[in-house]
Structure 1
Amino acid sequence: MAIKSVQVVLLLWTTALLSWRTFCLAELIDNQGYPTFEMSVDIYSKLEFLKFSDTGMNIVPCNIMSSLPSLETLDLSNNLLSDLGFWWPGCSYTSVFPKLRHLSLSKNRFVDLPFIAQQTHQMKYLESLDLSFNSIVLDKPCFWPIHITSLSLSNNNLGNKVFSFLSQYLQRIVLSKTGITALTQEDLLQFPMLTHLFLSFNSIKVIPTNLSSTLVSLYIDHNYITSVSRESLAGLPSLRTLKAGDNPFVCSCDSYWFITTLNKSLLPDWPLDYTCSTPPSVADLPMSEYRTSRMSCEAWLQAAVALPVTMLIVLALCSAFYACDGVWYTKMLWVWIRVKRRGQKQANLLNNTTFRYHSFISYSHQDSAWVESKLVPSLEGAGLSLCIHERDFVPGQWIVDNIINCVEASYKTLFVLSNHFVQSEWCNYELFFAQHRALDAQQDSLVFILLEPIPTNSLPKKFLKLRRLLMQQTYLEWPMDERKQQVFWVNLRSMLQVADHRILKDMALDSS
């Protein structure tokens, strides 16, 4: 109760007052606005709690400091005390508050933290010090006594560097509203015994991982934290209280586990102080009411579902590819691509070379029905000139000379391979001369058509070179499916049409 314009005279002489343990004095203002009181402190030797709050005090008298040997708690908050007003130079500090454990200097005019730290060495039993709501400045290193375990510097503009000015023996640190913008693991490594940390009303955005293994209580409400990650709390194994409300939380998968899995007994302010800030669709929605699917947030669950689905799709595509003869079409496409690429390379080599035929056809007479009914009409119908031994060999000339002349006069030599082919003596001669021509002049002059499957072990020894050629060169297989036959003819024509058509046409006209 405020007592204004009154001079209080405290003259306590009775022996009954010697048993007092607590004494409070607040708001003593005279008619001129100055606090005025007179008291004798000689009889307060057993006083344990003393509070002078809101009295306008700007200096602590020496007789008070030296006459309270039993005092354990001193509250001088909301006064006009300064550094030298409390630690008065005119006093002797040989026995200052010998049993004082709790000192509150909140809401005064203290400035010099290094000076305060040095003076507290004289208070041998001081455990907690409250310097909140002052004008503390950090300009020099601080040397704290080991017996101070609790320190409050809240509502002072200190910034991120404040941690380097604190004692490593602190167990309780209050830094609410001190202008801290970032909290790092390195900041707390210097406090191995820290159990309670209060960082409310700052500008911290992230709780780092592996923060502190000893921290029991963390107050980080009213900051700029958007989510509390699982990894962050995993780095706080001893945590029992987490106050993180009134932050701009993002309600997304980052907060999914926090909403659904975290033990809410850790949160004394849940659910009232937890609301969604973004995205706009859920702004101001209580986090306890936010709903999202587990599938969209659990990566391992997405992988567990996506992997079998992907495998089924791949299996279905492979099955469809095989059922539609995709292997065969792919092989034919590769042949077509190789022909196109080689056509450019061979163009310069063939500029000064003339041929009479696009291709010389080498086949067994037992396969003549297929050659005459399928092969010749299809190629000559496309404008290609073919050399066939039954039609184009010169009569009366030796057969070997005819073979050599036809091979050299043809741009390509086309072999129709079958079981009958490998049994033919003349086919062997034609293959021999064509192979030597390929080695000497034009390396890609050999074209193979596999009319029917030929088992490797059925090839005679004289056709060992053919076996090597089939392993090294691409060959075309005659398909039974009519759809595939169209692709077959396209690839075969493209292999034979890369020659100089103008020269071939002139040669054909001269020949005719």
Structure 2
Amino acid sequence: MLDSRHQVWLNVLLLSAMMETVFGEGCFSSQELPNRLSLQSTKLDLSRCDITRLEPSTLRTYLSLQILDLSYNALEEWDFSMFQFHNVLQKLDISHNKLRTVNCSGLQYIRGITHLNMSYNPFETLFLCKEFATLTKLRYLGLSATKIDHNDFMNIKHQKLDTVFLGLEDLQQYEAGSLQLLNTEKLHVVLPKTLTYSALLLYDDLNITTTLEISNVLCEEACYDTIRHISYVIQKSKVSKLIFSNITVSWPEMATILQIAWRSTVEYLSIYRFTLVRLFSYEPINFSKGSVKVLEFENVIPQVFLHSSRKHPVTIFSEMFVENLTISNAEITHLPCPPWPSIFRSLVLTNNKITDEIFVACATLASVQFLSLQNNILERLSYITSMTSTMPSLTHLDISGNRLYCDFNARCEWSQSLLVLNISRNKITDSVFNCLPTNLEVLDLSSNQLSSVHKEIDHLKSLKELYLSSNQLSHIPDCGYISKSLIYLNIEENLIHSPSKEQLINCQNVKEIIAGNNKYQCNCELRSFISTAEILQENLIGWPQSFTCEYPEELRGVKLKDFNPSEISCNIFILIGLIVGSLVLLLIVMFFLCKHFDLPWYVRMIFEWLRRKYKVKNSYREEAMTGKRFHAFVSYSQEDGEWVKNLLIPNLEKNDNSIRICQHERHFIPGKSIVENIIACIEKSFKSIFVLSPNFIQSEWCHYELYFAQHSLFGKNSDNLILILLEPIPQYLIPNKYSKLKAIMKHRTYMEWPKEKGTILCLQRNQWICVIEGREFPPTGSGPADLQCFSTAPASP
């Protein structure tokens, strides 16, 4: 048996095989189907995919499917039995296909369906078979046909529907009275192209529903008969809500519709997608008595702009006695002040080209409570404030999406009744806080150019909601300035980068704060804010998902909740203590080294050696060998000079110049520093002889010579040191700074000068020999037991 994963893929492949290779807008490829189709899918959009056939078994696996959209495809057959296992399906759209027949036998499986759209298929009849009577929960039904008979709606006459849509552009035959069987609250009829059937349909619409929408009234030329039929329907029906959509008429014809509607039962009249053609002139209408309370003109497409009448045709709207007027997306530039006190309560003039001159000094709009001038070309806020000052009932003003700016010294005369003000998406700056109505409860300043919230806002004592998103605020506003009744604050998408703990605490009484999607800089200064936000997270809407780091770059996208810098890096006192402690420890170590190892002395010595060493660092060993002038350099204390001059050197040199000894008294060059002379003599000698005694360890220059000799150019690769212990040196007498001497005496063999009289150490060309009272002992060590000799002499130069 196949597991669930393989079954899903099998169905995906099956469904993909049924689709054409061309996918339209909103469709998705077979590679995306596994993500869109799962066993738990509740919604599936397969519209515009050029599907020609759908097998009944295709969707059998997806038992949770509630919404299926197959509109705008190429289906030619349909069988409701494919939903045998889909008893939770609620919405099905198979409109705009090529269906000619429908198999209704499977409708019993989807009795819970509420929305079924089968319109815009080339059905000859409506195919409302007897199984439709089982769809007791159906609320929306969309149908199309070329022929309608009296019995077509018989199977649904007992069902109470919310909306029935009839797309009847291609209707060729209609039996009068057929629509009378429908039981629906709203009927939307797209009129056929044939005028005869349009009239019959309109007459049948009279008492079917309280909401009627008529579409496709197209009168490029004069259409007196159509307007007459529509007027008759309006006069005789009991429709309370009448909608015209996709209507093309001249203004006199539209004025006729308005005048008839004013004397009917219609309370809500909406004109949507109105194309104005042929003639645009002022048509006087008596609006003194009428039932219309709401009038809407939306998406007006004017194809004529000139008028020959003395009054502008738009003046007719100012003369209307209607409570709610909407003129949206109609390209009007002005609406005159009503010539007499109007009953307007709501004026919606959005998405037009209205300027600052609207309702200047207009005293006849005393009843207006809601005014929307959204998305126009208003500029000066002071003009708007002056306009509202003559509207004593105005409570809600929407002037968003304009070009408004606030003059710094402008006089602001707002209506005292204003409670809700929307000035979002303008060019408002900080000076606006000097020009706000006192009694505001809701203020929207989103998407402007505010950089801070001034203290002047404290005069808004009743403010409950404040919207400041998408501005240039760098910190959270001080809620101490804002009304104590504030319950909602929106400051998201600003430039807030380092808010403080105090700023958030000041706003802790605000029940909802939206402060996400800001430019938070995750550093130590933010730690207190984060800890406070964790405490007040019930007030912070969107915490922690929308609170992320923006800077530094390496932390971008990290949630503030997950930002946890170390205590040392953020606490200045700990950091100072650590630095001071390290310095103290370093000083203690330095003191210890200076006291026990004479560190300054080593530093000076290393400096002098390096300074000299780098002068010859690029010389090769062969070049250095050619510069040798002496067989040995003698290092000794000045107190042991008599022994060196009278015994050591005479017995080594023997006055024949066969062995040359370098002595500082004879070979140091005047004018050079002592260190330079020491290093030069050591480097010009094959060997270095050190005469050790208690006096030697007391001489600082002797120790310099020992150090430089060991670290000379060949110090690491040759045995160039010869030690003669002239007098015994107890280890405790050797200072700690002479650690090198201790190491050398510990690891190298040295000669002890005998106490017996006449004992002399001699150097003969290629070897060392010991001479005691004139008797020579060879270097094999065959002399007296307490005497040691070493054959370490270099080759003769």
TM-score normalised according to structure 1 size: 0.51
- Partners of 2:545 and 2:349 lie apart in 1 by 35
**Bigger fraction of residues in strand:** 2
Partner of 1:129: 397
Partner of 2:552: 279
- Partners of 2:469 and 2:398 lie apart in 1 by 16
Answer yes or no: is the 8 Å Cα contact 1:2–1:28 preserved in 2: no
**Secondary structure at 1:146's aligned position in 2?**
coil
Measure how far apart 1:160 and its partner are.
1.9
Measure how far apart 1:73 and its partner are.
2.1
Partner of 2:470: 201
Equivalent position amino acid for 1:225 in 2: I
Q: Does 1:53 align with 2:321?
A: no
**Bigger fraction of residues in helix:** 1
- Partners of 1:68 and 1:240 lie apart in 2 by 41
Measure how far apart 1:225 and its partner are.
0.6
- Partners of 1:38 and 1:117 lie apart in 2 by 24
- Partners of 1:278 and 1:3 lie apart in 2 by 55
Partner of 1:407: none
Measure how far apart 1:220 and its partner are.
1.4
1:100-499 mapped onto 2 (5 Å cutoff): 100-139=368-407, 140-184=410-454, 186-209=455-478, 210-214=480-484, 215-262=486-533, 263-292=536-565
Q: Does 1:86 align with 2:356?
A: no
Measure how far apart 1:157 and its partner are.
1.7
Answer yes or no: is the 8 Å Cα contact 2:389–2:413 preserved in 1: no
Partner of 1:16: 265
- Partners of 1:193 and 1:83 lie apart in 2 by 29
Identify the match of residue 72 of structure 1 among 327, 334, 345.
345
- Partners of 2:528 and 2:426 lie apart in 1 by 35
Measure how far apart 1:142 and its partner are.
1.3
**Secondary structure at 2:265's aligned position in 1?**
helix
Gaps of 5+ in 2: 1-244, 267-289, 589-797
Answer yes or no: is the 8 Å Cα contact 2:405–2:429 preserved in 1: no
Partner of 1:503: none
- Partners of 1:188 and 1:38 lie apart in 2 by 40
Measure how far apart 1:101 and its partner are.
1.4
- Partners of 1:122 and 1:274 lie apart in 2 by 45
Deviations, residues 37-58 of structure 1 (Å, cap 9, x unaligned): 789779974x443221111122
**Secondary structure at 1:173's aligned position in 2?**
strand
Partner of 1:380: none
Equivalent position amino acid for 1:253 in 2: C
Answer yes or no: is the 8 Å Cα contact 1:212–1:235 preserved in 2: no
Partner of 1:400: none
Superposition RMSD in Å:
4.2
Question: Could you say if the C-alpha distance between residues 175 and 32 of structure 1 is closer, same or farther in structure 2, counting changes exceeding 3 Å?
Answer: same
Identify the match of residue 99 of structure 1 among 356, 359, 367.
367
Question: Could you say if the C-alpha distance between residues 258 and 21 of structure 1 is closer, same or farther in structure 2, counting changes exceeding 3 Å?
Answer: farther
Answer yes or no: is the 8 Å Cα contact 1:6–1:29 preserved in 2: no
- Partners of 2:459 and 2:439 lie apart in 1 by 9
Deviations, residues 333-381 of structure 1 (Å, cap 9, x unaligned): xxxxxxxxxxxxxxxxxxxxxxxxxxxxxxxxxxxxxxxxxxxxxxxxx
Question: Could you say if the C-alpha distance between residues 4 and 250 of structure 1 is closer, same or farther in structure 2, counting changes exceeding 3 Å?
Answer: farther
Measure how far apart 1:173 and its partner are.
2.1
Measure how far apart 1:297 and its partner are.
5.8
Answer yes or no: is the 8 Å Cα contact 2:549–2:555 preserved in 1: yes
Deviations, residues 231-280 of structure 1 (Å, cap 9, x unaligned): 11222243112122221101233333444442323233334432211223
Gaps of 5+ in 1: 315-319, 321-512
- Partners of 1:264 and 1:272 lie apart in 2 by 11
* Residue range with higher mean Cα deviation, 219-228 or 7-16: 7-16
Answer yes or no: is the 8 Å Cα contact 1:4–1:31 preserved in 2: no
- Partners of 1:2 and 1:222 lie apart in 2 by 40
- Partners of 1:16 and 1:42 lie apart in 2 by 22
**Secondary structure at 2:352's aligned position in 1?**
coil
Equivalent position amino acid for 1:267 in 2: L
Question: Could you say if the C-alpha distance between residues 212 and 67 of structure 1 is closer, same or farther in structure 2, counting changes exceeding 3 Å?
Answer: closer
Question: Could you say if the C-alpha distance between residues 248 and 43 of structure 1 is closer, same or farther in structure 2, counting changes exceeding 3 Å?
Answer: closer
Equivalent position amino acid for 1:104 in 2: S
Measure how far apart 1:106 and its partner are.
1.5
**Secondary structure at 1:27's aligned position in 2?**
strand
- Partners of 2:504 and 2:437 lie apart in 1 by 25
- Partners of 2:377 and 2:560 lie apart in 1 by 42
- Partners of 2:249 and 2:429 lie apart in 1 by 43
Equivalent position amino acid for 1:171 in 2: E
Question: Could you say if the C-alpha distance between residues 268 and 72 of structure 1 is closer, same or farther in structure 2, counting changes exceeding 3 Å?
Answer: farther
Equivalent position amino acid for 1:192 in 2: K
- Larger Rg over CA atoms: 2
Measure how far apart 1:224 and its partner are.
0.9
Equivalent position amino acid for 1:188 in 2: I
Measure how far apart 1:68 and its partner are.
4.1
- Partners of 1:38 and 1:104 lie apart in 2 by 18
Measure how far apart 1:283 and its partner are.
1.5
Which is bigger in relative contact order (C-alpha 8 A, separation at least 6)? 1
Measure how far apart 1:228 and its partner are.
2.7
* Residue range with higher mean Cα deviation, 119-128 or 201-210: 201-210
